[in-house]
Structure 1
Amino acid sequence: MQSKNKTLVRAMDVLQLFVGHPKLTLNQMTALCGIPKTSVHRMVHSLEEMGLLTKESDGAYRLGLLFLHYGQLVAERLDIRHAALGVMRGLRDEIGEAVHLVMREGKECIYIEKLDTDQPVRLFTKIGRKAPLYAGASSRVILAFLPEEERERYLADTELAVIGTGTITDKTKLRHALQQCRQSGYSFSRAELENYTAELSAPVFNYTGGIAAALSIAGLEVRFDDRSIPELAERLKRAAAELSYELGWNGSLTS
């Protein structure tokens, strides 16, 4: 474990050099960081394979485009969390259930913000929790509004495993649920990620009309009866639309 930590620290030392230098050769990196050239060569090769460094035609290296991708993700998530908090507070106070903000991360979704409720018995969801895109209302909202080709590729490549008693594991049923979500503008799940819980979720769109996040209310299943769902869904959709407009959405969707 210590050797791994040492290697990681050395790799970060190499990357840190690029804060003050747009381009560096292997010799320059070796001279600046004081690490043996053979070690620098190995680390730079690994960093290049991972997309963290890019080698140019003159043999020098610069930071890879992967940093731009990470930077955009961080900026987007910070911006959307900041924009969402007011909407989330209003929704939480109006409905009295926990409110979640969820974004996609590869083949999963990740909970990036949560406002709890004052209910004596509550659903505990940690920020940073992940779930597969096929399970749970928020995941399904994100999957439903992905471009069709991307959505179908995910469905073809993914095995649907049981997580909770209500998890959908039949792809025909899942496709039907996704279609219903696109038509109604919301998704509802019972016991898909945790037994005895329910989640109601609506899409949040960005300025391009693409799916940016999912906004949801969640709690114990007994508090979500069938008669209350339509009204709760309309309140949730209004809040999600408000957040979408704050992100620059003009009301239209990408195809």
Structure 2
Amino acid sequence: MQNKNKTVIRSMDLLHLFLTHTKLSMNDMIRLSGIPKSSVHRMIGSLSDMGLLHKDEEGLYSLGLLFLQFGNLVAERLDIRGVAAAEMRRLRDEIGEAVHLAVRDGDSSMYIEKLDTDHPVRLFTKMGRRAPLYAGASSRILLAFMPEGERDAYLDEVEPEAIGLGTIVSKPKLREALEEARAHGYAFSRSELENYTAELSAPIFDHTGKMVAGLSIAGPEVRFGEDGLAERIRLVKEAAHGVSLKLGYAGPPA
């Protein structure tokens, strides 16, 4: 406690109660926090005056709208590339393949960050590269977790064209692949954008539960055989979920 303000710490203890409770009475806060009634009364008054707590007509308290303002500012100012950097490095070092961070830009996906591997045989890509949402694991994971209405509108309008040997051009097969991606939390592609390459991608979600990016590994198709693929899937999903948690996501892994 040295050099720490006890009143501030106790006030935070009260606010932390609302992480698991939507509304609380003053007696609830006293009981749950173990803080003396007189102290709780003073702190509630100060927190309410500052807009950090709101008291309704029934005398129950909830978090104030000031948290919404701060929360939106934090979300707006988060640089997803910076947030994802540590997980991307860890994933690259564990798997030894190039790691990409992709976002949706209209009807395309776009790489906004990448980490190369020092493997002598590797896939060369660049930031800013675009691909249609129907082709490649990074694109398809973004399409799979788009809002249903937007996804259906896109699928109704798009006419998939072959880019690589493995590009999915059949709409029924594309819809099936999207359903599998949503069900299993990852997308996998072979020779869809470039022949003899493979990519494995998982979704990243923000604090609202909205999908905001895809994290992927990519490399020569020969290194993406059945042996070890399950472990790679686990590591990619784990890394994507790690980024989601840093963005404030509170839900389960995809």
Greater C-alpha radius of gyration: 2
Once the two structures are superposed, residues 178-220 of structure 1 have per-residue CA deviations (whole angstroms, 9 ceiling, x without a partner) of 0000111001000000001000000000111111100000000
Deviation at 1:227, TM superposition (A): 2.6
**Equivalent residue for 1:186?**
186
**Equivalent residue for 1:220?**
220
- 1:165–1:192 Cα contact (<8 Å) kept: yes
| Counterparts in 2 of 1:156 and 1:136: CA distance versus 1, 3 Å | same
**Equivalent residue for 2:200?**
200
Deviation at 1:147, TM superposition (A): 1.1
**Local SS of the residue matching 1:227:** coil
**Equivalent residue for 1:120?**
120
Question: How many residues are treated as equivalent by the alignment?
Answer: 181
Counterparts of 1:132-151 in structure 2, within 5 Å, are 132-151=132-151
**Local SS of the residue matching 1:225:** coil
| Counterparts in 2 of 1:76 and 1:236: CA distance versus 1, 3 Å | farther
**Equivalent residue for 1:103?**
103
Once the two structures are superposed, residues 208-245 of structure 1 have per-residue CA deviations (whole angstroms, 9 ceiling, x without a partner) of 11111000000000000023221100011010000000
Gaps of 5+ in 2: 1-71
What code does the residue aligned with 2:193 have? L
What code does the residue aligned with 1:175 have? R
**Equivalent residue for 2:19?**
none
Alpha-carbon distance in structure 2 between the residues aligned to 1:228 and 1:76: 38
**Local SS of the residue matching 1:189:** strand
| Counterparts in 2 of 1:251 and 1:233: CA distance versus 1, 3 Å | same
Counterparts of 1:153-192 in structure 2, within 5 Å, are 153-192=153-192
Alpha-carbon distance in structure 2 between the residues aligned to 1:149 and 1:163: 26
**Local SS of the residue matching 2:79:** helix
| Counterparts in 2 of 1:197 and 1:87: CA distance versus 1, 3 Å | same
**Equivalent residue for 1:209?**
209
Alpha-carbon distance in structure 2 between the residues aligned to 1:233 and 1:216: 10
Question: What is the TM-score normalised by the length of structure 1?
Answer: 0.68
What code does the residue aligned with 2:209 have? G
**Local SS of the residue matching 1:87:** helix
**Equivalent residue for 1:233?**
233
Alpha-carbon distance in structure 2 between the residues aligned to 1:173 and 1:220: 24
Alpha-carbon distance in structure 1 between the residues aligned to 2:228 and 2:175: 25
What code does the residue aligned with 1:170 have? S
Deviation at 1:133, TM superposition (A): 0.4
Deviation at 1:252, TM superposition (A): 5.6
Question: What is the TM-score normalised by the length of structure 2?
Answer: 0.69
Alpha-carbon distance in structure 1 between the residues aligned to 2:140 and 2:241: 18
What code does the residue aligned with 2:181 have? C
Once the two structures are superposed, residues 96-124 of structure 1 have per-residue CA deviations (whole angstroms, 9 ceiling, x without a partner) of 00000000000001000000001101101
Counterparts of 1:15-54 in structure 2, within 5 Å, are none
Alpha-carbon distance in structure 1 between the residues aligned to 2:76 and 2:87: 17
**Local SS of the residue matching 2:209:** coil
| Counterparts in 2 of 1:77 and 1:159: CA distance versus 1, 3 Å | farther
**Equivalent residue for 2:130?**
130
**CA-based RMSD:** 1.9
What code does the residue aligned with 2:81 have? R
**Equivalent residue for 1:82?**
82
Alpha-carbon distance in structure 1 between the residues aligned to 2:123 and 2:143: 24
Once the two structures are superposed, residues 60-105 of structure 1 have per-residue CA deviations (whole angstroms, 9 ceiling, x without a partner) of xxxxxxxxxxxx9xx9697000101111000000100000000000
Gaps of 5+ in 1: 1-71
| Counterparts in 2 of 1:77 and 1:108: CA distance versus 1, 3 Å | farther
